[in-house]
Homo-oligomer: A and B are copies of this chain.
Amino acid sequence: MEWEKNVRKVVPYTPGEQPKEKDIIKLNTNECPYPPAPGVRGLLEQMDYEDFRLYPSPSADSLVCALAEYYHLDASQVFVGVGSDDVIAQAFLTFFNSKKPILFPDITYSFYDVWAELYRIPYERQPLDADFRIRKEDYLKDNGGIIFPNPNAPTGVLEDLSMIEEIVAYNKDRVVMIDEAYIDFGGKSALELIEKYDNLLVIQTFSKSRAMAGMRIGYAMGQPELIRYLNDVKFSVNSYTMNRPSLILGVEAVRDDDYFRRIVGMIISTREWMKKELSGLGFSFPDSQSNFIFATHEKYPAKELFEYLKTKKIYVRYFAQPRIDNYLRITVGTDDEAKALIDALKSYL
């Protein structure tokens, strides 16, 4: 077909499987094993369906203000989108317009190169060291922008804030994005640096620690000038990205800080138990500060374990990619789920 010559051809990102059966143990997409804040239920029940006929707030005020209040920021420092994927995609489109390559690790969230390819942004992968750590000096050179997750995915490795500050400080002429999808599980956020560095954008999500993957809410924080540019692009794509339920229920997920801290604590405690058990079974893994463990076994190939677990209705994530094709990324579930996983592995090994 002749019109195909004008099509933007891309190789899309492949999300983790979303099986429809209810009786599986789903440890493959880093969702929270606990429900959203209990107040969400009440708000859902009170929601007036008649209002759905009206457009939502284009500026998503209620949610932006709730986040600003929670993080002690001004509303002008917060941007919200349809999950952090939407936020980061828009940030790539907004800020990565240099002819110089943007930089990110060779092992990282596999959406970065997809976005770069989609928007025709040149990029250069920087190899992690043998311990899956970021080598700071790789980011202290000329470039068109920087992004990496902290903790990194799918490794779970947390980098120190002082190293991040050094990278941000060196790169004042371009935007540095820190993708903090997993920061609440043991890391220290770079948020405290945004007052000092106008080139730093910190991105977080409701999909992990706030137990709201199904509501699609992500957000970015930075100085007002960065957020204004991001909003200009957002308002050039879609005026109304956040639907009414997201705006209403998202606010509650931010407000209930006690519940948030409680479930995060439970996940951390399960993770530490899993680490001990996995070690005992001959697995090794970088010390995860996220809600997943990136594990490899001394004897059993990851792909074989992945397929075996699937027969036991336990879904974990396997990436057939260089350097990590002998690893499994295992989401930290409830204690019961973690125990089922360990039991299944025990009976196999």
Contact = CB atoms under 8 A, between A and B. Distances in A.
A216 B243 contact: yes
A34 B53 contact: yes
Contacts of A174: 2-3, 6
Contact of A214 (B55, B173, B239): B55
- Copies of this chain, complex-wide, total 2
A236 interface: yes
Contacts of A249: 49, 52
Interface string A1-24: 111101111111111001000000
A325 B172 CA distance: 45
A82 B28 CA distance: 26
Contacts of A245: 215, 243, 245-246
A71 interface: no
Given A2-B172, A238-B82, A240-B83, A95 B7 contact: yes
A198 B7 CA distance: 13
A231 B82 CA distance: 17
Interface stretch (A111-119, A129-137, A282-290, A335-343): A111-119
Given A10-B232, A244-B215, A238 B173 contact: no
A69 B11 CA distance: 29
Interface residues of A, number: 87
A86 interface: yes
Interface in A19-58: 26, 29, 31-36, 40-41, 44-45, 47, 49-58
A296 interface: no
Interface string A66-103: 00000000000000001101100100011111100000
Interface stretch (A147-155, A205-213, A306-314): A205-213
Interface of A: 1-4, 6-15, 18, 26, 29, 31-36, 40-41, 44-45, 47, 49-58, 82-83, 85-86, 89, 93-98, 114-115, 117-118, 144-145, 172-175, 198-199, 207, 211-216, 225, 229, 231-246, 249
Given A52-B214, A216-B240, A243-B246, 19 more contacts: A2-B173, A3-B173, A4-B225, A7-B229, A8-B229, A15-B55, A26-B54, A35-B50, A44-B44, A52-B211, A53-B211, A54-B213, A55-B207, A82-B82, A85-B238, A89-B237, A115-B237, A117-B236, A215-B243
